[in-house]
Structures are given as structure tokens and as C-alpha cells.
Amino acid sequence: MKKIIIAFIVLCLAGAIGYGVNEYNIYSSTTMKKKEVVLYEQDVLHVDGGKEKVSAKVGNPSLLDVNVNKHAIKLVAKKKGKTDLKVKCGYKNFNVKVDVRPYQISHKDLTLFVGQSYKDPGDFGGKVPNYQVKDYATSKNGMITATKVGKTSYKATIGNTMFKGNLTVKPMNFMSEGLTIYDNTDHYNLYSKNSDKRINPASITKVLSVYTYLKTIKSLDEKVKVKQSDIDQCYSCGGAYISGFKANETVTYRDLIYSALLVSGGEAIFGLERLCFKNKEAMRNAMNKYAKEAGMNHSHFENPVGMSNPSHYMTGNDIVKMMKFVLKDPTFKKMFFTKSYQTTNKKHTFKSPSSGYGKLAKGAKTGYTVAAKMCIVVCSQYKGHTFFIAQTGANNKIDRFNDIRKAHQIITNL
């Protein structure tokens, strides 16, 4: 049987931080395709021929330092550029495309608000910048978090490359008890205040309720009737908001979903619970099942409307996890981003609360109970990034509005 010669190319990202190893296997077969290897300045590329003799020829020698012994080759990236690397291993020849890139930091001089975290979106080849800052901020896991108002300087080390910059920290005071801003594009908390504190989510609950209902409905255009019991439950549960449907009114599942999602219609939520599940326990179990799937390990649901209950709770970080989970469903996403909806019978028009929170807000769900106070979850978009803002515990609508405005100010500060 014909012997297969294997050349192992190991990319060693051996910096002071961000250490990692990627292996590239090149097989000597007629179907072998050209390989491309990305290196960053000062990275090392090893070619190991095993028992076979190896040699290498670089198209542009100014980009790579080459050190060859009998069975191995060591190449060190010197400067930015692309070149061909021809490797001979025994009787086999391999062509490798090498792309040498510089580390690129996006912003050397930073202006942050107190409490804001910053992760540079620059190209670091999988490494994590190590920030060093003396005052007014802390650094951890490749991020700077502003802690108090003032001006200072910082250093960022990436591999063997160092960047220096200035940091200015400005004041930012939120009136809400809790506020979480999550960058769903770069996957980190841009701002965090009591994000792990257990809270009553009020009608933010209905985000997961609606998602749960959507998973059982076969046709959103199927016609159903609202019952008096659906309306009565809004009163008996403690005062859930009623969107305006009447007893015996013919509507569609779609109408009920939009009522629940856009204007927090309690009669719609209870009607959907009656239509989609055999009993309240089945609905509750389904909601908690989806919460577990979403990784919401610090949440539990007792009812679909969000009325106060010691066993009904979420956290700011879990609200973010919920949004990441439910927006993967294209039907839910379309409905959540809808600004206005008129029911099939033309009797009702529902408008999204997101319309009142600025151009960045694409979808929102508000909530209120005496225990929860004013709360809201907002999905906002800016410069190609998607953000989730979970605000809880505002004393009034003005504080809630102003805190979302301030959250958008932090987002646009990037």
C-alpha cells in the first residue's frame, strides 16, 4: 500500500497572553488543495516533516525569517504582506499561502462612561489584549471597565506588541435599580448594574410566553374566539392590562399574539393559554423548559403574564439570554420588530413601545407591577451591532425613558 506522507504545520501563537495552537495537516494526495495560513507579526510557524527531509522557499523573503534543519522548518513572521511558501517533504511538494497581518487596535484614545466596559473590536488573531491601567478603570479578560470619573493613560499588550493610549471617564448615573447593556455582536456586557440580582420581571415575562405559544400554534391565521373568562382573569390575577378585546369577539391567533407582544394584552395571554395548553401547569412547565434551553439558570416562571409571585423571577443577564434565544425564531423576530399592527377585523390597532425610545430601538417589551416597578427590555441596533438593554426597577416612566436614552448614549459612544 502506498505510503502517505504527512507534513504537520503548527501555528504557535506564543505571545505573553492569548496563547493558543492551531494544527494544519497537509496530506500528499492528488486531491490536496492549497492551504492558507494566517500569521500575525512575530508569530512562529513550524513545519515538521517527521522522518522525511524538508526544505522551504518563500516567495517574498522579507516577510518571513526561515530556519531549516534536516527534518523541520521554523518561520517567523516579520511584517505585513502575502507570500507563497513552497515546502518539499521527501518527494512531495506542497504550496502554502501565507498571509502576515499586523495587530490593529481600533481606538487608542478612549472616552468611557462610569460603569461602561470596552472590548476593542480590532484584529488580534484570536489573542486577547492585556490592558494595564492604573486609575479610574479596571481590566479583565481583554476589557477595560471605567470605575470613576477622571483621566489616565493605559497600555495594551498583544503578543509582543504594545499600544499606548489615553482614557477619559465621564459620569453616567442611572436611576433604575438594574440595567444591563449587552452587545450581541461582540458578545459582552457593555454595561452592567445589578445584572445578576433576582428581580420580578412583570410583563417582560410575556416575551417568553409568546415564544412558548408560537411553538404550539399551527396556523396564525386560524380564527378563534375571546371568552369572558380570559378577560375576567385579568382582574382576578391582580390587574393585568386589557388591550380591548370583547367577550365572544372573533379574532385570529396572530391578533392575540400581537396584542400580547406589543401592548401587553392580558386577555390575549390568558386566551392563548386556554387555546394552546390543557391547563396552567402545562403552560408553566413549557415556559420553564424553554427557559432552561435558553440557559436562563437564574429564572423561574409561575404564570404567563408576570404577576408577582416569590417563585416568579429573572435577572438582567437572564433577560439578555432570553432575547438571544427567542430572536432566533424568525416569526417571533418579525413580530417583535413590528411597529404597528391592525387586527384582522379592523377593530384594534396595536403599537410597539419601541417607537417611543428613539431610532436605535427596533423592538421592546415594557412591564410594570408594584413589586417590579417600571421595567423594559429593548433590542437596539447601531453600526451593524445588535444590543439588548434590560432595565429594571425604575420609579416612574420618565426615569425608565431617560435610562434607555442614556443606554443609547453609551452604545453610540463606541
| Per-residue pLDDT reduced to its tens digit, 103-129 | 777 777 899 999 999 988 777 777 788
- What pLDDT, in 10s, does the model give residues 357-400? 999 999 999 999 999 999 999 999 999 999 999 999 999 999 99
The DSSP letter of residue 313 is B
Quick one: pLDDT at residue 19? 33
Would you say 76 and 63 are in contact if contact means Cβ atoms under 8 Å apart? no
- Assess if CATH 3.90.1200.10 describes domain 202-412: no
The CB density around residue 337, as the number of other CB atoms within 10 Å, is 16
Quick one: pLDDT at residue 52? 78
- Give the percent of the chain with pLDDT over 70: 91
Domain limits, CATH 3.40.710.10, in the chain: 202-412
Instruction: State the average pLDDT for the chain.
Output: 88
Domain limits, CATH 2.60.40.1080, in the chain: 6-101, 103-172
What is the CATH class of 6-101? mainly beta
Strand, coil or helix: what is 261?
A: helix
Which residue is listed with cell 492585556? Answer: 130
| CATH T-level assignment (fold) for domain 103-172 | Immunoglobulin-like (2.60.40)
| Pairwise pLDDT comparison (179 vs 163), residue with the higher score | 179
Lowest mean pLDDT among 108-112, 118-122, 202-206, 404-408: 118-122
Strand, coil or helix: what is 211?
A: helix
| Pairwise pLDDT comparison (333 vs 50), residue with the higher score | 333
Q: In what order do the strands lie in the sheet with 110-113?
A: 110-113, 161-170, 150-158, 130-133
Q: Taking the model in full, what pTM does it have? A: 0.80
